[in-house]
Amino acid sequence: MHDRIKELEALCALKLGSGAVTELTQLSGGASMESWRFCFAGRPLVLRRLPFLSAPTAALPDNSANDSADNDVGSISLATQAGLIDHLHQIGLKVPEIIAELPAGSDLGEGFIMSCIAGEALPNRLLHKPEFAEARQHLSGQCARELAHIHSLDPADLPITLPVQSPKVLLEEQERFYRQFGSANAVFELAFAWLTRHCPEPQEYRLVHADFRMGNFLVDKGGLTAVLDWELAHIGDPLRDISFLCIPSWRFGQYDLEAGGFASLENWLAAYETASGQPVRREHFDWWMVFNILWWGVTCLRLGSTFRDGSVPTVERTIIGRRISEVELDLMLALEVQRGARSTVLQAPPEILSPELPTNQEIQHAEIVSALIQWNKTDILAQASGHGVFAARVANNALGIVDRALQLGGPYAQRQTERLTALGYNNKALASALRTDFELCDTAAVWDHLRLTTLERLTVDQPHYAGRAIALTRWCTSQAT
């Protein structure tokens, strides 16, 4: 440990002069990368590196067993990221300054050191705390101007080579990743079918961030201070970035504010058009919305698989793997306007409309899990600090999923089997049929089965997901269309 701190000090000293490393703390979040905040000679800095496999409170543990983790989500190399960020900083974009890259074979692993820009990154604070109310008013215009600046750059002028990715190539790549798991997800298959049928022709390609969303912004009381996390950058269609901000999963409870949970879709598109001087083609924007939602779902599958194969055996990866149920619901809501038939009022069972878990005279397995949830909340979370708070909350989310699965999973599975039997399919056969025949979803019984299954799965995994309330209003009342 002492040697790693000394190496960190030596790297900083090459550019910043003599000093000591203090206040080394891991920052919360980071499913595919780690961030560590520290001070060198009193200056706040951030170490960005590949994730580790040991306890989250350990300081700079060995990373040699995980040298391929960053490629798990299709990112560019850390050296390429550092070169790109350094160039963007020099030309005035809101990105950190690169201080040093970790040399090959470093005990610190693979990564780089960058300046620590003032600002809050946690979306729930940014979207709900009153001290950021004024900043939220400015975010749409500020993000639009920053994104327009990014898209204005000529790829030929970049000092590094980035992959060029067309809509068709990206779609084929995601389907290839999806097929590797042997999944039979009817909603994903339906989305692949629609995307393949409507894939847009390539437009003018520019620098694309590809992860432009809340959680990757730093914001202070005046608004946007930095755009972070460039590991997915490539040369592609700017519309991917414009729609990426609007992915429902990353509105963080503000489902009705489509642009990142802080602005309406109309205001966001108008702000971008003003900043860029370019019109947004809505049919292409809609395609990218469905694609980006599906991309996140496939990414959840891929990140979840790293727990199963042992490469990143953390509780967080299991939770991410279960987030595909929220993606299914978001895809259903997005694709609903694309199908030709009218949706009828859905006859959902009572526990979906208002989830109440069953009770029994004897202690049930689910009650043991509930006791663990309460113990973690009162005894562990109350005493945790730093990254430990994040880890304890993730653990409680995991226990909650198991709790609801034990009580609701059996009845839901039985109902799904009964519906499939009435349709003349099993799950795999229905998924395969939807991939080749998008119009199959116009059949009322098929569409109702997909809607009910989506709601059942989400009720187990994330009953408080904001999109669930939207779906219940659209599908289970007289407002259904």
Q: What is the pLDDT of residues 436-475, one digit of tens each?
A: 999 999 999 999 999 999 999 999 999 999 999 999 999 9
Burial class for 293, CB neighbours closer than 10 Å (0-12, 13-18, 19+): buried
Report yes or no: 208 and 76 within 8 Å, Cβ to Cβ. no
Q: Which pLDDT score, from 0 to 100, does residue 33 have?
A: 78
Structure-token pair, residue 221: 């009381």
> Does residue 69 register a pLDDT over 90?
no
Of the two residues 298 and 310, the one the predictor is more confident about is 298
Which residue's structure tokens are 């009193």? 42
Burial class for 138, CB neighbours closer than 10 Å (0-12, 13-18, 19+): middle
Question: Looking at residues 75-104, what average pLDDT do you find?
Answer: 94
Phi then psi for residue 131, to 5 deg, are: -70, -15
Average pLDDT, the chain: 88
At CA 203, angle to CA 198 and CA 204, rounded to 5? 165
The mean-pLDDT minimum among 214-218, 297-301, 378-382 falls in: 378-382
DSSP SS3 for 277: coil
Question: Looking at residues 106-123, what average pLDDT do you find?
Answer: 92
Domain residue ranges of the chain, discontinuous segments joined by +: 2-115, 123-299
Give the model's confidence band at 183: pLDDT under 50 very low, under 70 low, under 90 confident, else very high: confident
> Does residue 31 register a pLDDT over 70?
no
Question: Looking at residues 256-266, what average pLDDT do you find?
Answer: 96
DSSP SS3 for 100: strand
Question: Looking at residues 294-301, what average pLDDT do you find?
Answer: 95
At CA 32, angle to CA 29 and CA 33, rounded to 5? 70
Cα distances (Å, whole numbers) of residue 394 to 124, 223, 325, 372: 15, 29, 17, 13
What are the DSSP E strand ranges found in 170-318?
A: 206-208, 217-220, 223-227, 234-236
The mean-pLDDT minimum among 70-84, 165-179, 198-212 falls in: 70-84
- The CATH architecture assigned to 2-115 reads 2-Layer Sandwich (3.30)
Q: How many Å apart are CA 253 and CA 298, to the nearest integer? A: 22
Q: Which letter does DSSP use for residue 311 in this model?
A: S
Among 9, 51, 55, smallest CA distance to 306 is for: 51
User: CATH class for domain 123-299?
Assistant: alpha beta
